[in-house]
Amino acid sequence: MATIPPVPQELTDELLAVAGEAAASAAALIAAEAGQRRVHVSTKSSPTDLVSEVDRGAERCVVDLLDARRPHDAILAEEGTSRSGTTGVRWVIDPLDGTTNFLFGVPAYAVSVAAEVDGRAAVGVVVDPSRHETWCAVAGRGATLNGQVLRLPAVAPPPATALVATGFSYLPERRAYQAEVVAYLLPRVRDIRRFGAAALDLCWVATGRVNAFYELGLQPWDLAAGVLIAAEAGAEVETLADGTVLVAAPGLLAPLRALIDEALAG
C-alpha cells in the first residue's frame, strides 16, 4: 500500500490560523446576539430542528473570511453554503452547533470549523462563546484547549463508572430507536449526559469532562472538527454498522461498543 504523504506543515499552519480567525469571528457574533429575542426562526428537517438568523449570520461571517483568505477552497456548511474548489482543501463548517440551546438560553453551543486536505481531516477548531474556550487540533500534532495541550490518560474507567454523552435525532422515529439504546445503557454506566451540541460533546471527551460520546445520524459538519480534536487528544473513534459514531477514552471504546451492540440486538 502506498504511503500517503503528510500535509505540509506550512499549509496546516495557514489553515489553523484561518480556522481560528473564522471561528473566533463567528463566536463573537453569536456572543453579541445571545439573550436577545429572535424574530427569524424557522425549521429544517422537522418541527424541532430550528435555524435562526444568527446561524445564517455566523455562517456568512465564516464564509466571508474564507472568501478573503482562501477563495479557491471548497466549502461545505450546515446552513447551505456549498462549493467546489481547486486546491484540494475543503472547509466543513457548523456555524452554530446547538441552535436550540442558543435559542432557549442554555449555554451549550459552539462554532465548529474544520479543514480537510485531499479528503483527510487536517485542522479543527471549536469555539465555545459561553465559556470562552477554544479547542484546536492539527492531524498528527495533538490538540489543545486555550493553548494547553490535551492528553487523555492511558487507562479509562470501566463502563460501569464511565460518564457517557449522547444526542438524539430531530426525527421522531429515529429518536424512539435511540431511546431504546439509552434505556439499555443507563443501568450499565455511571450516567448519561445529553448536552445538545455534538461538537462540544466531542471536545469534552478530549478534555475528560465525559468519558465517551455516541450518536446516530450526525452530519459531516457535526463531526469534522470535534472528532479530530478528540482523536488528537488520544480518544478512540469508530463508526458502527448502523452509522452510530462512537468516541471514547483509550480502552473504553470496545466495551461500550459491545453494550451498544447488545442494546441493538435486544
- pLDDT single digits (tens) 160-208: 999 999 999 878 888 888 899 999 999 999 999 999 999 999 999 999 9
Which residue type is seen at 238? E
pLDDT band at 39 (very low <50, low <70, confident <90, very high): very low
Neighbour-count burial of 83, counting CB atoms closer than 10 A to its CB (0-12 exposed, 13-18 middle, 19+ buried) = middle
Q: Is residue 2 predicted with pLDDT exceeding 80? A: no
Give the mean model confidence (pLDDT) for residues 99-114. Answer: 94
- How many of the other CB atoms lie within 10 Å of CB of 58? 30
* Across 87-95, average pLDDT: 97
Compute how many other C-beta atoms are within 10 angstroms of the C-beta atom of residue 33. Answer: 17
Chain segment 47-88, per-residue pLDDT in tens: 544 457 888 889 999 999 999 999 999 999 988 889 999 999
Arithmetic mean of pLDDT, 209-225 = 96
Mean pLDDT of 227-245: 95
Name the E strands within the chain.
41-43, 50-52, 74-77, 82-83, 89-97, 110-117, 120-128, 133-138, 142-145, 148-150, 163-166, 191-193, 212-215, 236-239, 245-248
**pLDDT at residue 31 greater than cutoff 70:** yes
Per-residue pLDDT, averaged over 224-243, amounts to: 96
Q: What residue ranges do the domains of the chain occupy? A: 9-149, 159-265
pLDDT of residue 38: 53
pTM here is 0.92
Terminal-residue alpha carbon distance, the chain: 40
CATH of domain 159-265: 3.40.190.80
Q: What is the pLDDT of residue 5?
A: 74
CATH number of this structure's domain 9-149: 3.30.540.10
pLDDT of 200 reads 98
Question: What is the pLDDT, as a whole number, of residue 42?
Answer: 55
